C-alpha cells in the first residue's frame, strides 16, 4: 500500500474502495463549493458513483497512468489529490486536487502539492509537473504560485463547467528547477 508521510499531521495514501463512503460524504457536504470549479459533481450523486471513480482510478494506477490519493489530516480523510494523468512519453504528471470545505485555509493542499511534486520529479524521475486551474479559481492558482511554479499561459475554453466554458491558467515546474526553487 502506497502511504506517504508529509509531516506529523498530514499523509497521502492510495485511494481504496473502503474509502468510498467517506469520500462521498465529503463530496456531498462540499457539493456547492466544489461545483464552482469541478465538472463531475452532477455525475456523483450516490456512493456508487464514487465507487466507479475509485475503480477506474485503480485501473489507471495499475497501468501507471494516474495516481489518486486520499489526504489524511490528523487521522481524517480530508480530500483527494494526485496525478490525474501521468504521461510517460512526455515525462509529465498533471496534478489535480480538492479539499472538503472544513479543511480549507490551513495550508494543507500547498503541502500536499509540494509532496506530490517531490514524488514526481525526485522519486519517479519525471521531467515536469503541471497544474492547471480555471483563471478565476484564485485559491487553486495560489498553490502552484506559492510553490514557485512558472505561469506558462492560458488555454482558452479549456473546460466545460455545466453551462459555460472556462479558460485554464497553466503552471509548470521542471525537474531542473525544482531543487533550487523549493529550497528558497
Ligand X SMILES: CC(C)(COP(=O)(O)OP(=O)(O)OC[C@H]1O[C@@H](n2cnc3c(N)ncnc32)[C@H](O)[C@@H]1OP(=O)(O)O)[C@@H](O)C(=O)NCCC(=O)NCCS
> What residue ranges bind ligand X (CB under 6 A)?
34, 37-38, 97-99, 104-110, 133, 137, 139-140, 142-143
In the complex, minimum distance from the CB of residue 137 to ligand X, in angstroms, rounded to a whole number = 5
What's the min distance (Å) between Cβ of 26 and ligand X?
10
Distance (Å, whole) CA 173 – CA 181: 9
Taking the complex as a whole, the smallest distance from the CB of residue 126 to ligand X amounts, in Å, to 20
Quick one: cell of 153?
499561459
Q: Nearer to ligand X by C-beta: 107 or 176?
A: 107
Closest to ligand X by CB, 99 or 116: 99
42: helix, strand or coil: helix
* CB closer to ligand X out of 160 and 176: 160
Q: How many CA atoms lie within 13 A of 129 on its CB side?
A: 28
* Phi-psi map region of 40: left, alpha, beta (phi>0 left; psi -120 to 50 alpha): alpha
Amino acid at each position: 500500500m502506497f502511504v506517504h508521510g508529509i509531516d506529523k499531521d498530514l499523509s497521502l495514501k492510495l485511494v481504496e474502495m473502503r474509502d468510498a463512503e467517506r469520500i462521498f460524504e465529503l463530496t456531498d457536504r462540499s457539493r456547492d463549493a466544489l461545483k464552482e470549479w469541478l465538472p463531475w459533481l452532477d455525475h456523483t450523486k450516490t456512493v456508487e458513483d464514487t465507487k466507479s471513480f475509485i475503480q477506474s482510478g485503480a485501473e489507471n494506477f495499475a497501468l501507471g497512468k494516474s495516481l489518486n490519493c486520499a489526504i489524511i489530516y490528523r487521522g481524517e480523510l480530508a480530500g483527494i489529490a494526485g496525478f490525474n494523468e501521468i504521461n510517460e512519453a512526455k515525462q509529465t504528471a498533471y496534478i489535480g486536487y480538492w479539499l472538503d470545505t472544513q479543511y480549507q485555509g490551513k495550508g494543507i493542499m500547498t503541502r500536499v502539492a509540494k509532496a506530490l511534486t517531490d514524488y514526481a520529479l525526485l522519486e519517479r524521475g519525471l521531467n515536469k509537473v503541471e497544474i492547471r486551474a480555471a483563471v478565476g479559481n484564485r485559491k487553486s492558482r495560489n498553490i502552484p504560485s506559492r510553490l514557485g511554479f512558472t505561469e506558462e499561459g492560458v488555454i482558452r475554453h479549456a473546460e466545460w463547467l455545466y453551462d459555460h466554458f472556462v479558460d485554464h491558467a497553466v503552471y509548470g515546474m521542471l525537474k531542473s528547477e525544482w531543487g533550487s526553487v523549493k529550497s528558497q
